[in-house]
A and B are shown apart, each in its own frame.
Chain A
Amino acid sequence: MAHEDHGAIYDLLAARGVSRRDFLKYCGSIAALLGLSESFVPQIAAAVNHGAKLKPAVWLNGGACTGCTESIAQVDTPDVATIVLDLLSIDFMETLSMAMGEDALAAAEAVFEEPGYILIYEGSVMQGFDGNALRIGGKTGLEELDHAAPNAAAIVAVGSCAVDGGFVMANPNPADATGVKPYLEGKGITTPVVNLPTCPVNPEWLVAIVVDVLLLGSLESGAILDKLDDWGRPKYIFGQTIHDNCPRRGHFENGNFVNEFGTEEEALGYCLYKVGCKGPQTYTNCPIVRWNRRTSWCVESGAPCIGCGSLDWVDVGAPFLNRHRDLPLPGVGNTQPGVVAGVVAGVAALGLGLHAVGMKASGRMDGGAPYEEMKAHDRKRMQKGGGK
């Protein structure tokens, strides 16, 4: 059986124009991403090769823009990533599946019957409007998630929306959006959730998870859980900041900054800190894995990081071209922290100035007023008690 598969995968790769060498190189990049040494490459290659046993998976869409689907489907020429992702037998996906209506829903139902499938969830969980912000086949999105989650072997929450509500939960969050993990925790459903934030999700990370979970068996062994941080994000992807690995970091240290777009500094590829780069507080490995089939990524292509891999990323990151977020001040609206500080300092300076005028006018500048004979408190007590 294994031998037949062996031929099959290389035929498949060849048919898609991927050489054996490309394949091994790609497995090497997966190994690096998973924090494994080069010696794992043959194991991963063999696993992809033998792993041709399809794992049933269901892709549910919550409240979002479908950008994550786009991100996964952007591969215009099939490559190794698609082949790895093909190992998931995605039996239901509203946006891309051929089947429609009742048939599609029946396919999903069939998967849910049999515990052990992978549930990929894209988009936020919209709890507002009694769950009616999203309806699928006559049910609310919440009902669908409640139904699909308990029997899944694992849930992969793709994109920031699925992690914590993403841009959908940005202030004022009318749909009361949240992420899959916090939602399920509230319901007492304990299916393990692997969180893959960023807006949209990077397909390479889904590939890494598929290899880790399906092919290296880290779900059965439970090893995957040790690789997650407190927020359920794989540490090997979300363990270091963008700033730690940024190719513009030298310019940061030297103090060479882009002050404005369209300037010589920008052309020179200087650091984007002053135009609001959120790289220093954003934990993703974008600079290493990069995007669009490892072509480039935001900062490399000239845009400051907007921090889409952070929790609550819109509210803690906007306005994206400012160093600090805005603070929503009651009665004033969104204000930059520095403006608030400046106003308070101005008022204080004015107060001190006025006070100094008073000190001058009352003749206290030269040594202060004459000392009191006795504390006011003691005097009062003496008057009351008539002595002491």
Chain B
Amino acid sequence: MSHPAHYREAHPLIFVCTHWINLISMVALAFSGFYIHYPFFANFMGVARGMHFFFMYVILINLFVRIVAAFFVKSATRLGTHEVETDIKNWLPQKLNRHQLGAWLKYYLFLKKDHPIGAKYGVLQKIAYIVTIPLTLAAAYTGFAIYAPFMDAAFFAAGTDWVGGQMNMRIIHYYIMWVFILFTAIHAYLANVEGVAPSRLIFAWKEEEGLRFDADGKVIGGSGH
């Protein structure tokens, strides 16, 4: 088949860390959030809220660190290469991805047989990752708007009035959790469905040999097993 090589340059250690922190915080926030939403066993509310109020800062700080690091850390911007560029290039439009949205959609809908050429993150993948930024900020905004120490601040109170009160704000916050759950389900599925090499790299920082590509997305060597 056609497994691209997975080298550490794709995910420098700091991003392995930010991804771990993100995963742990999300699990903690969703679990404690579910519990706050409906306490499904006894004697845990204080802990659940404590967890929620702790990890909400962790996830925000982590997001901040990830974004700042994008401007300072170098990473591979293509699959199967050791060459690196500033990581932010991965998040801007890339030559390899141009005109490929349709190809990706067709590929995933089984309307196209061969694997689309792409940069390190394909078109859809990149959009999905970028959308997690406003989504995290929306979780934070709606969360602070229902958090007593902040909810009276004009910045949050105005939003609460606009959506029609605290109950609606809570429901929006609750739905944002479900959007994250959907994102994570699809993300984890797509990350692993063609092989676990991507996960081994982002979680265990383990490399795996495979196809290597040139700057035009052409296979230049290696083996796809």
Contact = CB atoms under 8 A, between A and B. Distances in A.
A355 B186 CA distance: 11
B83 interface: no
Nearest to B195: A367
A315 to B, nearest CB: 8
A341 B175 contact: yes
* Interface size class of chain A, counting residues whose CB lies under 8 Å from the partner chain: 35 or more
Given A367-B224, A372-B115, A244 B42 contact: no
A324 interface: yes
B134 interface: no
Contacts of A337: 171, 174-175
B131 to A, nearest CB: 16
Interface in A160-188: none
Contacts of A244: 148
B1 A377 contact: no
Interface stretch (A45-53, A93-101, A113-121, A342-350): A342-350
Contact of B165 (A252, A280, A316, A364): A316
Contact of A345 (B108, B167, B182): B182
B167 A324 contact: yes
A257 interface: yes
Contacts of A368: 1-3, 115, 194-195
Contacts of A338: 37, 174
B165 A310 contact: yes
A355 B164 contact: no
A349 B185 contact: yes
Given A255-B39, A256-B42, A367-B2, A359 B193 contact: yes
Contacts of B219: 371
A312 B45 CA distance: 29
Contact of A348 (B108, B186, B194, B218): B186
Interface string A217-229: 0000000000000
Nearest to A378: B99
Interface in B109-142: 110, 112-117
Interface string A272-301: 011000101100000000000000000000
A102 interface: no
A312 B41 CA distance: 32
Contacts of A363: 1
A323 B99 contact: no
A254 interface: yes
Contacts of B195: 365-368
A352 B185 contact: yes
Contacts of A159: none
A256 B43 contact: yes
B165 A369 contact: no
Interface in B184-225: 185-186, 189, 193-195, 210-211, 217-219, 224-225
B181 interface: yes
A253 B132 CA distance: 31
Contact of B193 (A254, A356, A378): A356
A254 B45 contact: yes
Given A338-B174, A369-B114, A377-B99, 19 more contacts: A244-B148, A253-B45, A253-B49, A255-B43, A307-B167, A338-B37, A348-B186, A352-B185, A355-B189, A364-B1, A367-B3, A367-B194, A367-B210, A367-B225, A368-B3, A369-B107, A372-B115, A376-B103, A377-B98
- Please provide the 7 A-B residue pairs with the shortest distance between their CB atoms, ordered closest to farther: A367-B1, A281-B166, A377-B99, A367-B3, A255-B45, A368-B194, A372-B114
13 contacts: A311-B164, A311-B165, A341-B178, A348-B186, A352-B189, A359-B194, A364-B1, A366-B195, A369-B114, A370-B1, A371-B114, A376-B103, A378-B99
